[in-house]
C-alpha cells in the first residue's frame, strides 16, 4: 500500500497503543478507515450515534490507567452529536482524543456542507484543537494530541482531519509517544503534610479522579496509609470504588445528596485532604464544605497540575504532584500512634456509613422501591464487575445501598449527563472481556443512548442493563417539588414509554421484568445467569419513592 497520510495516521495510532476506536461511519474520513483495514491491531467499533461513541471513548479513557480513549466522528452533525461526551471528559479530567473529519481544505471558509470552525465550537470543552493542514504534520499532530490529553489535568483533545488530505503521499517517520512527566512532591511538602496529619484529631481524606488513574498499586497503598495513619477515607462523586465500603476506615461517600446525618458528622473535621481530587460543586456540597473561596477548615489539595490547585479555594498546603507519590512519601514516614480521639473519629464515621446501608425503604403501592433493587445487587454483581450509572434520582439509591469494592470499576458522567450508562457499559464489556459490565439507567436516559445495545450485540459482548422505569424525569420532578411545593409538575416530567422487555428482545437481548419486591432476587439471579448476549432487567419503579425517601432523610434542594 502506498504510504499516504491515512496510513501514517494509522501507524501513529498504533504507536500510541490504540486498540479500540469508537465511531459512526462518515464520508469525511473514509481515507482513514480504508488505511485502518491494514492494521488489524486496531478494532473499529461501529456505534449507532456519535454521543454513544463519545461516551464509549470517554469510558475507555477511564479504564486505561491514564491513556486516552479514541473516538472518530464526521464533521458538522457528527461532532456536535459527540459534544456531550467531550463535555463529560473535560469536566471529569478524562484523557480522550477525538478525530474529526473536515471539509476539503480548498473549501474552508465557503460555508461548505457541514463546515464548522472547530477551534471556536470546541474551545470550552477541550484542552486543545489541532488541525492537520500539511501531510508532513500528520504524525506530529497525533503525538501532540495524545500528550496534551494525557498530561497535567487530563482531558479531551480534538484533531481535525480535512477530507482531501488522507490520500496524499506522506513523508517522514512516525513520531513516537512522548514521555509524560509525573511531578513528585517536595520533601518539605511531605514533612508539612505529616505534621498537619499528626496534629489533627478529626482529619477527613477525600480521594478522587487523579488517584483512579494511578492503578491498583496506588489503591493498595491507600489502604496501607489509612490503616497506618488511622484516617477515614471518603471516595468522591462518581469515584465510589476507590476505597472499599466494607473497610473499617471507610468514611462515607462524598458526592451528591450525602445523607444529612453523615454530612453533619463530616463537618466536624479539623483538616481536609483532597488526594487526587480537584473538587467541584457536587463534591463540596454546592461550595459549602469546603466553603468557597475561604474554607472553614485547613485544606490540603494534591493534584498533578499546579494550575488547578487554588483556582476556586484558598488552599493551605498545595501539592502539585502525582497522588500516589504523596501516598508513598507518607508511608515512608513513621506514623504517630493514633490518639483515642482519632480512633473514635474514624469509628464514628464508619458506624454512620454502615447504618446507612441498612434497609430503610418503604414498600410503595405504585411500583418497586428501587432502593431494594440496589441493596439486592450486592448479592449478584461480581466483585470484579464494571458498574456504570446514568444521571437520575435512581442513582442515589445505588450510591446509598450498594457497597462498592476497590475491585469494582465505576464509570459515569461527572457532569450528570443522561445517556452515559449504556454506552459506557458496552465499552467496559469490550475492554474487560472476562468481566461483567452492569449499567444502571432510568427510563429517560435509556431512550437517549440505549440503541447502543445494538453495538453490544454486533460486537458479541453481554452487558447487563438495570432499568428503573418510573415513567418520568424524576430528578426534575424532585427539584420542582422542592422549589414550588404543592404546584403540579407532571405535565413537564411525565414520560410515555414502550414495552421495554419487547424493545430489548427486538435487539436480540434477554429481558426480564420486576414488578414486585418479592421478585427481585430470583429475577436478578436469572439475569446474571445469561452470559451469551446483553440482558435488560426492567424494574417498574415507584414514581413517588424518591420524593418520600428524601423528605425523610435529607433536606429538599433549594
User: Domain with 288 in it: what CATH number?
Assistant: 3.40.50.1220
59 to 37, 150, 387, 481, 498: CA distances (angstroms): 24, 14, 11, 33, 28
Interatomic CA distance for residues 368 and 58, integer angstroms: 32
Answer left, alpha or beta for residue 478, where phi above 0 means left and psi between -120 and 50 means alpha: alpha
User: How big, in percent rounded to 5, are the helix, strand and coil portions of the chain?
Assistant: 40, 15, 40
pLDDT of residue 142: 98
Indicate whether 244 and 280 sit together in one domain: yes
Considering the domain boundaries, does residue 434 fall inside one?
yes
Closest among 223, 145, 535 to 406, alpha carbons compared: 223
Closest among 507, 537, 532 to 373, alpha carbons compared: 537
Indicate whether 348 and 375 sit together in one domain: no
Considering the domain boundaries, does residue 169 fall inside one?
no
Here the CATH number for the domain that contains residue 494 is: 3.40.50.970
Considering the domain boundaries, does residue 128 fall inside one?
yes
Query: Residue 551 pLDDT more than 60?
Result: no
pLDDT of residue 552: 46
Question: pLDDT per residue over 322-335, tens digit each?
Answer: 999 999 999 999 99
User: Average of pLDDT values for 59-71?
Assistant: 96
485 to 260, 480, 491: CA distances (angstroms): 21, 7, 15
Whether 163 contacts 29, CB under 8 Å: yes
End-to-end CA distance of the chain: 63
Mean pLDDT of the chain: 92
Indicate whether 338 and 398 sit together in one domain: no
Query: Residue 344 pLDDT more than 80?
Result: yes
Q: Is 514 helix (H, G, I), strand (E, B) or coil?
A: strand
Indicate whether 139 and 45 sit together in one domain: yes
Of 162, 179, 199, the residue at which a domain comes to its end is 162
Q: Which of 111-115, 146-150, 383-387 has the lowest mean pLDDT?
A: 111-115
Considering the domain boundaries, does residue 172 fall inside one?
no
Whether 307 contacts 152, CB under 8 Å: yes
* Domains identified in the chain, total number: 3
Indicate whether 378 and 476 sit together in one domain: yes
Q: Is 521 exposed, middle or buried (0-12, 13-18, 19+ CB in 10 A)?
A: middle
pLDDT of residue 557: 35
List residues bridging with 4 in a β-sheet: 169
Considering the domain boundaries, does residue 362 fall inside one?
no
Considering the domain boundaries, does residue 404 fall inside one?
yes
Give the H/E segment covering residue 428. helix 421-431
Please, where are the H alpha helices in 432-544? 443-449, 453-459, 474-483, 490-493, 500-506, 520-528
Query: Residue 175 pLDDT more than 90?
Result: yes
User: Average of pLDDT values for 190-197?
Assistant: 97
Question: pLDDT per residue over 89-132, tens digit each?
Answer: 999 999 999 999 998 888 888 888 777 889 999 999 999 999 99
User: Average of pLDDT values for 145-162?
Assistant: 97
Indicate whether 95 and 201 sit together in one domain: no
Query: Residue 553 pLDDT more than 50?
Result: no
Query: Residue 556 pLDDT more than 60?
Result: no
Residue with cell 462518581: 238
pLDDT of residue 160: 97
Indicate whether 330 and 413 sit together in one domain: no
User: Average of pLDDT values for 56-63?
Assistant: 97
Confidence of residue 542 (pLDDT cuts 50, 70, 90): confident
Closest among 483, 475, 484, 489 to 558, alpha carbons compared: 483
Considering the domain boundaries, does residue 361 fall inside one?
no
Backbone angles phi, psi at 355, to 5 degrees: -65, -30
341 to 74, 258, 299, 337, 390: CA distances (angstroms): 59, 24, 20, 11, 39
Indicate whether 202 and 275 sit together in one domain: yes
Confidence of residue 38 (pLDDT cuts 50, 70, 90): very high
C-alpha cell read off for 10: 494509522
Non-local (6+) Cβ contacts of 20 within 8 A are 42, 43, 45, 60, 69, 70, 427, 430, 431
pLDDT of residue 360: 66
**Residue 485 domain boundaries:** 370-553
Question: pLDDT per residue over 226-240, tens digit each?
Answer: 999 999 999 999 999
Closest among 484, 461, 481 to 547, alpha carbons compared: 481
Confidence of residue 478 (pLDDT cuts 50, 70, 90): confident
Of 297, 322, 354, the residue at which a domain comes to its end is 354
Closest among 28, 24, 59, 47 to 413, alpha carbons compared: 59
Indicate whether 407 and 339 sit together in one domain: no
Confidence of residue 161 (pLDDT cuts 50, 70, 90): very high
Indicate whether 197 and 342 sit together in one domain: yes
Closest among 241, 245, 247 to 407, alpha carbons compared: 241
Backbone angles phi, psi at 62, to 5 degrees: -85, -20
User: Average of pLDDT values for 428-441?
Assistant: 97
Q: Is 232 helix (H, G, I), strand (E, B) or coil?
A: coil
User: Average of pLDDT values for 52-61?
Assistant: 98
Q: What is the 3-state secondary structure (H, E, C) of 323-370?
A: HHHHHHHHHCCCCCCCCHHHHHHHHHHHHHHHHHHCCCCCCCCCCECH
Q: Is 123 helix (H, G, I), strand (E, B) or coil?
A: coil
C-alpha cell read off for 313: 479555594
Name the percent of the chain lying above pLDDT 90. 80
Considering the domain boundaries, does residue 175 fall inside one?
no
Whether 175 contacts 145, CB under 8 Å: no
Non-local (6+) Cβ contacts of 477 within 8 A are 489, 490, 493, 547
Query: Residue 315 pLDDT more than 90?
Result: yes
Q: Is the dihedral of CA 191, 194, 198, 200 positive or negative?
A: positive
Interatomic CA distance for residues 310 and 308, integer angstroms: 6
Of 287, 320, 354, the residue at which a domain comes to its end is 354
Interatomic CA distance for residues 439 and 453, integer angstroms: 11
Closest among 495, 505, 501, 497 to 472, alpha carbons compared: 495
Interatomic CA distance for residues 341 and 335, integer angstroms: 16
Confidence of residue 267 (pLDDT cuts 50, 70, 90): very high
Indicate whether 375 and 499 sit together in one domain: yes
Interatomic CA distance for residues 164 and 151, integer angstroms: 31
Confidence of residue 549 (pLDDT cuts 50, 70, 90): very low
pLDDT of residue 1: 52
Backbone angles phi, psi at 318, to 5 degrees: -85, 130
C-alpha cell read off for 275: 488526594
Indicate whether 12 and 147 sit together in one domain: yes
Amino acid at each position: 500500500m502506498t504510504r499516504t497520510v491515512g496510513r501514517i495516521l494509522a501507524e501513529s495510532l498504533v504507536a500510541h497503543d490504540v486498540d479500540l476506536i469508537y465511531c459512526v461511519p462518515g464520508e469525511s474520513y473514509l481515507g482513514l478507515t480504508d488505511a485502518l483495514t491494514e492494521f488489524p491491531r486496531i478494532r473499529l467499533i461501529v456505534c449507532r450515534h456519535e454521543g454513544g461513541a463519545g461516551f464509549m471513548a470517554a469510558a475507555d479513557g477511564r479504564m486505561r490507567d491514564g491513556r486516552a480513549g479514541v473516538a472518530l466522528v464526521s464533521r458538522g452533525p457528527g461532532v456536535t452529536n459527540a459534544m456531550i461526551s467531550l463535555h463529560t471528559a473535560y469536566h471529569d479530567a478524562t484523557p480522550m482524543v477525538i478525530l474529526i473529519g473536515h471539509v476539503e481544505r480548498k473549501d474552508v471558509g465557503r460555508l461548505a456542507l457541514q463546515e464548522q470552525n472547530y477551534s471556536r465550537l470546541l474551545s470550552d470543552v477541550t484542552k486543545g484543537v489541532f488541525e492537520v493542514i500539511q501531510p508532513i504534520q500528520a504524525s506530529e499532530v497525533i503525538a501532540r494530541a495524545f500528550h496534551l490529553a494525557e498530561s497535567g489535568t487530563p482531558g479531551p483533545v480534538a484533531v481535525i482531519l480535512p477530507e482531501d488530505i488522507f490520500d496524499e503521499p506522506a513523508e517522514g517517520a512516525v513520531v513516537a509517544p512522548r514521555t509524560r512527566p509525573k511531578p513528585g512532591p517536595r520533601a518539605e511538602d511531605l514533612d508539612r503534610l505529616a505534621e498537619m496529619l499528626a496534629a489533627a484529631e478529626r482529619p477527613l481524606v477525600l480521594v478522587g479522579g487523579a488517584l483512579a488513574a494511578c492503578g491498583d498499586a496506588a489503591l493498595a497503598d491507600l489502604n496501607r496509609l489509612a490503616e497506618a495513619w488511622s484516617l477515614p477515607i471518603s471516595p468522591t462523586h462518581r469515584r465510589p470504588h476507590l476505597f472499599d465500603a466494607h473497610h473499617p476506615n471507610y468514611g462515607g461517600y462524598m458526592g451528591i445528596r450525602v445523607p444529612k446525618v453523615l454530612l453533619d458528622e463530616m463537618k466536624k473535621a479539623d483538616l481536609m485532604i483532597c488526594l487526587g481530587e480537584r473538587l467541584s460543586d457536587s463534591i463540596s456540597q454546592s461550595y459549602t464544605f469546603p466553603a468557597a473561596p475561604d474554607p472553614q477548615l485547613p485544606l490540603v489539595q494534591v493534584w498533578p497540575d499546579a494550575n488547578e490547585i487554588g483556582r476556586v479555594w484558598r488552599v493551605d498546603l498545595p501539592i502539585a504532584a502525582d497522588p500516589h507519590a504523596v501516598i508513598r512519601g507518607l508511608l515512608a514516614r513513621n506514623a504517630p500512634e493514633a490518639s483515642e480521639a482519632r480512633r473514635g473519629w474514624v469509628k464514628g464515621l464508619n458506624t454512620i456509613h454502615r447504618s446507612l446501608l441498612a434497609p430503610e425503604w418503604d414498600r410503595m403501592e405504585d411500583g418497586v422501591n428501587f432502593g431494594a433493587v440496589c441493596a439486592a445487587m450486592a448479592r449478584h454483581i461480581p466483585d470484579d464487575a464494571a458498574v456504570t450509572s446514568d444521571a437520575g434520582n435512581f442513582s442515589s439509591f445505588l450510591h446509598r445501598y450498594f457497597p462498592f469494592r476497590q475491585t469494582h470499576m465505576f464509570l459515569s458522567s461527572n457532569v450528570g449527563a443522561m445517556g452515559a450508562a449504556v454506552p459506557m457499559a458496552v465499552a467496559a464489556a469490550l475492554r474487560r472481556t472476562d468481566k461483567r459490565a452492569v449499567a444502571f439507567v432510568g427510563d429517560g436516559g435509556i431512550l437517549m443512548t440505549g440503541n447502543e445495545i445494538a453495538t453490544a450485540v454486533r460486537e458479541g459482548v453481554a452487558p447487563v442493563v438495570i432499568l428503573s422505569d418510573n415513567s418520568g424525569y424524576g430528578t426534575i420532578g424532585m427539584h420542582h417539588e422542592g422549589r414550588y411545593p404543592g404546584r403540579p409538575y407532571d405535565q413537564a416530567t411525565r414520560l410515555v414509554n414502550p414495552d421495554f422487555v419487547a424493545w430489548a428482545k427486538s435487539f436480540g437481548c434477554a429481558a426480564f421484568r420486576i414488578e414486585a419486591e418479592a421478585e427481585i432476587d430470583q429475577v436478578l439471579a436469572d439475569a446474571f445467569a445469561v452470559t451469551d448476549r446483553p440482558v435488560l432487567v426492567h424494574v417498574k419503579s415507584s414514581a413517588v419513592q424518591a420524593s418520600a425517601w428524601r423528605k425523610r432523610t435529607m433536606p429538599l434542594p433549594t
